[in-house]
Amino acid sequence: MFFKRRVCVVLALTLILGCKPRTELQQAKVSGAVTLDGQPLAEGVIVFTKFGEIPKELPIVQGQYDGQVVVGPNHLQFAVYRKQKQKSVSGPGAEQGSLENILPSRYNQESMESREVTEKGPNEFDFSLQSK
């Protein structure tokens, strides 16, 4: 009887506490420069995505970016948003317009860019983008 009770207690604690919690993903600092048509990109974003993890979006300001991303192989995408006026739309919010990524799709939806982010670094990646 005592043995059965002990087994039930162990099983109950296992269910309540669950499995070992997922450990924090190892992250490392990344930085670099981004130019568009040979000039520092005034503003935009660079997105680092390690397969199976939440993407990390870093702002690009005056041609520079930096931040923490997950260690390992990362797929990269770039975006530069400009406000676009709504055509033939009326109603609340119509005057606000929408944002449009002005970079060619080869830098976002069709991007083949990737970089290996290492724990020890240096993880300095520069990019030269072309608008055409």
Q: How do 27-36 and 39-40 pair as beta strands?
A: antiparallel
Residue type, 59: P
> Which residue do the tokens 């995505």 mark?
49
Q: Residue 8: pLDDT above 80?
A: no
* Contact yes or no for 65/76 (Cβ under 8 A): no
More confident residue, 93 or 119: 119
Q: Residue 21: pLDDT above 60?
A: no
Q: Residue 11: pLDDT above 90?
A: no
pTM over 0.75: no
CB-based burial of residue 108 (10 Å sphere; 0-12 exposed, 13-18 middle, 19+ buried)? middle
pLDDT at 132: 86
- Tell me the per-residue pLDDT of 31-86, one tens digit each, with 9 for 90 and over: 999 999 999 999 999 999 999 999 999 999 999 999 999 999 999 999 999 887 66
Collapsing DSSP to helix, strand or coil, 67 comes out as strand
At 9, which helix (H) or strand (E)?
helix 2-17
More confident residue, 9 or 116: 116
Nearest to 45 by CA among 122, 127, 132, 124: 127
